[in-house]
Amino acid sequence: MTQAAYEHNGRSVERAAFYAIACDPRRSIAVEACAGAGKTWMLVSRILRALLEGSLAKDGHGVQAHEILAITFTKKAAGEMRQRLNEWLVEFAQAPPEKLAAELLARGVPPAQIAAQAPALQNLYPQLLASARPVQIRTFHSWFAALLRTAPLAVLQDLGLPANYSLLEDDTEAITAVWARFYATVVDSPSARADFEALVAVHGRFQAHKALGAALNKRVEFVLADAQGVVDASVPPFDAQFPAFAGLAAPEDLLWAQRPLLQEAAGNLGRASAVTFSAAGSALEQALTAHDADAVLAALLTQKGTARKFGEKIVGIATVRAAQELALQVAQAQLQHAAWAHQQRMARLTRVLIAELASLKYERGWVDMNDVERAASVMLSDPVLSGWVQERLDAKVKHLLIDEFQDTSPLQWQALHAWLSGYAGAAGAPSVFIVGDPKQS
């Protein structure tokens, strides 16, 4: 049984009914469609329908071309949308009535309205040519950059951005230049140097550099998460993860708190008839005498971290098993402690690296795309600023269309969601059309 080609809210519908819903500019719609299904055709068709409704408005208050905002992710995709819209408008300006009727019907215009809309469709091209401002078809970054240009100086200061700046579409030069500054700061700071040396000792210089570079690429997300305390809380310390270790300074301290148990286990193993068992008992006794936690664990656990196999006939085997369970708990706590220590070092070093990059860009008057996204998120999330931005842009958005939505980053969606949420309960909210393919996400 084949899956229905068209669905609306989980219900199978005919093609005509689907496009009547999807292309209606008055509806807010999210469309899921696979590659090659005509997602861009739908998006541009909605633009066309919105322009038509604007031209047909009798009160003079219909949507204007510049009040339609279509967002995509690449300049190439934006250019293809503009080209398709322009080609359609040129074609329809010269098309006979039957062609216009067919095109309107394909885009979901009710049959009863086609006769009235066909002349308007034919006249759209000269109307748009006469209009001073076209439809906004932009990339996320170009739209966010336009928002940044309207930002008050106080916002730029709060974000640590220069008032007069050059926009870096490619931050390669800045990223390349920051490493020398970072390493100089690490050398001059005893605490940062200790963190870096510990990181390199465990993972090597190449992997350390790679990990810090990956963190730098996610610097906006890191800064936002860090401001909320998420970074430090993301990996809990061992005593928080394992209640049995609460109040202890190190995982190994639980061994010394249970020393009598371990000594009894060492004696039981040492009296075993099997040479390997008695050797383990001797090793455990020596480790306790030397106060060597690693040797204690090695006597009771394998190199893979599992409990050693000791015979059930050993006198006092229950005590040995209890000692092994203790060793397993300590080994797990040590892993947690190592993960926490690594995460804390990485967080501290990442803060240094991000601060050096921000300082470098400020000195050179650079703003990169990460800064643009962060500023847009701040401006659109603030109810006062978002209204102010709308006034400054002098372009109230009445129709918002987002192409390839599966490529939207969490920060981009957060900015859009905050902006759209600001319309809750208020008139004038834009219609929203979202199209994408979750399978390509």
**300-327: per-residue pLDDT in tens?**
999 999 999 999 999 999 999 999 999 9
Q: What is the pLDDT of residues 63-122, one digit of tens each?
A: 888 889 999 988 899 999 999 999 999 999 999 999 999 999 999 999 999 998 999 999
Instruction: Please give the average per-residue pLDDT across 246-269, as a whole number.
Output: 96
**Residue 130 above 60 pLDDT?**
yes
| Phi and psi torsions of 23, nearest 5° | -95, 0
**Which of these, 370, 365, 366, lies nearest to 141 by C-alpha position?**
370
Question: Global pTM?
Answer: 0.76
pLDDT at 147: 82
Mean pLDDT of the chain: 89
Q: Are 219 and 357 in contact (CB under 8 A)?
A: yes
Domain layout of the chain by residue ranges: 19-154+369-440, 170-364
pLDDT at 1: 37
The residues, any chain, with a CB within 8 Å of residue 416's CB and separated by 6 or more, are 380, 400, 402, 408
Instruction: Please give the average per-residue pLDDT across 366-391, as a whole number.
Output: 80
Q: Are 429 and 391 in contact (CB under 8 A)?
A: no
Instruction: Please give the average per-residue pLDDT across 183-206, as a whole number.
Output: 97
Instruction: Note the CATH number of domain 19-154+369-440.
Output: 3.40.50.300
Query: What band does 387 get if pLDDT is binned at 50, 70 and 90?
Result: low
Specify the higher pLDDT residue, 4 or 293: 293
CA distances from 279 to 195, 259, 346 (A): 39, 19, 41
The residues, any chain, with a CB within 8 Å of residue 96's CB and separated by 6 or more, are none
Query: What band does 391 get if pLDDT is binned at 50, 70 and 90?
Result: low
Query: What band does 429 get if pLDDT is binned at 50, 70 and 90?
Result: confident
**Residue 62 above 90 pLDDT?**
no
| Phi and psi torsions of 301, nearest 5° | -125, 155
Which residue in this structure is represented by tokens 């510990």?
198
Question: What SS3 state is found at 36?
Answer: coil
Is the sign of the CA dihedral 298, 299, 300, 302 positive or negative? positive
The residues, any chain, with a CB within 8 Å of residue 68's CB and separated by 6 or more, are 47, 50, 51, 135, 136, 397, 398, 399, 401
